[in-house]
Amino acid sequence: MNAELIRIGDDIVAMHAVVTDEGITLIDAGLPGDRRILQQALAAAGRRPEDIRGVVLTHGDSDHIGIAEWLRTEYDVPTFVHEADAGRAQGEKTPGASGGAMRLGPALQFFAAALRRGGMRTKHLGAVRTMRDGDVLDLPGSPEIIGLPGHSPGSVAIRVPAVDAIFVGDALTTRHVLNGSTDVQLGPFSDAPEQTPESLERLRDLPERSIVVGHGPIFHGTAAEMIAARKR
Domain containing 11 — which CATH number?
3.60.15.10
Q: Does residue 84 lie in a domain region?
A: yes
Of 19-33, 109-123, 131-145, the poorest mean pLDDT is in: 109-123
Contact of 176 with 100, CB cutoff 8 Å: yes
Residue-number span of the structural domain to which 117 is assigned = 3-92+102-229
Contact of 131 with 59, CB cutoff 8 Å: no
Question: Taking the alpha carbons of 203, 188, 11, 75 in that order, is the dihedral positive or negative?
Answer: positive
Q: Report residue 96's pLDDT band, with 50, 70 and 90 as the boundaries.
A: low
Q: Does residue 171 lie in a domain region?
A: yes
Greatest pairwise CA separation for the chain in angstroms: 46
d(CA 170, CA 55): 17
pLDDT of residue 38 exceeding 90, the answer is yes
40-74 per-position pLDDT tens digit: 999 999 999 999 999 999 999 999 999 999 999 99
Q: Report residue 106's pLDDT band, with 50, 70 and 90 as the boundaries.
A: confident
Q: Are strands 79-82 and 52-56 parallel, antiparallel or unpaired?
A: parallel
Structurally, the chain folds into a number of domains equal to 1
Q: Report residue 98's pLDDT band, with 50, 70 and 90 as the boundaries.
A: low
Q: Does residue 97 lie in a domain region?
A: no
Q: Does residue 182 lie in a domain region?
A: yes
Q: Does residue 154 lie in a domain region?
A: yes
pLDDT of residue 118 exceeding 90, the answer is no
d(CA 137, CA 141): 9
Contact of 60 with 88, CB cutoff 8 Å: yes
pLDDT of residue 178 exceeding 90, the answer is no
Of 10-14, 157-161, 219-223, the poorest mean pLDDT is in: 10-14
Q: Report residue 114's pLDDT band, with 50, 70 and 90 as the boundaries.
A: confident
Average pLDDT over residues 168-178: 94
Q: Does residue 175 lie in a domain region?
A: yes
Of 27, 2, 3, the C-alpha closest to 17 is 27
Alpha carbon distance, N-terminus to C-terminus of the chain: 39
Average pLDDT over residues 130-159: 98
Looking at the chain, the whole-number percentage of residues with pLDDT higher than 90 is 82
Q: Does residue 141 lie in a domain region?
A: yes
Q: Does residue 123 lie in a domain region?
A: yes
pLDDT of residue 8 exceeding 90, the answer is yes
Average pLDDT over residues 108-118: 85
Percent helix / strand / coil, the chain, rounded to 5: 30, 25, 45
**Mean pLDDT over the full length of the chain:** 94
At 218 the pLDDT is 97
More confident residue, 109 or 44: 44
d(CA 111, CA 101): 15
d(CA 86, CA 59): 9
Average pLDDT over residues 101-122: 83
At 100 the pLDDT is 72
Identity of the amino acid at 93? K
